[in-house]
Amino acid sequence: MFLPWLQEHYLPHYVCSKVKLACSGRDDPTFSKFLEDALNDSGDESKRRVLELEHGMELALYCVHKDNLDRARYYVTKTMEYFLNVSPI
């Protein structure tokens, strides 16, 4: 299956570009639906985990744009914890 390859190559560009567009005033309802489905899907934790760990800063920026500061703080904290646990000291 091609999902891991697509996830590694296209997802970062997709998330980054859609967040930038949203912050510039051109919010895409399909992107909001994509995030909502991926982050709230209780049956498949892998989607949420990939978004939170690999794109936490973009999610935080998107939440700040949507005035959801508590959720933004959650994503920044998760990203910081992941960075501190994964990076060698």
Q: Both ends of the chain: CA-CA distance in Å? A: 36
Across the chain, which distance is largest between two alpha carbons, in Å? Answer: 41
Q: Which of 15, 6, 88 is nearest to 53 (CA)?
A: 15
- State the pTM of this model: 0.81
**Structure confidence by residue, pLDDT tens digits, 21-76:** 999 989 888 999 988 888 887 677 888 888 888 899 999 999 999 999 999 999 99
Token pair of 68 as six digits: 């959801």
Least confident segment among 6-15, 59-68, 80-89: 80-89
At 85, the amino acid letter reads N
Task: For residues 79 and 56, give the distance between their C-alpha atoms in angstroms, rounded to a whole number.
Answer: 6
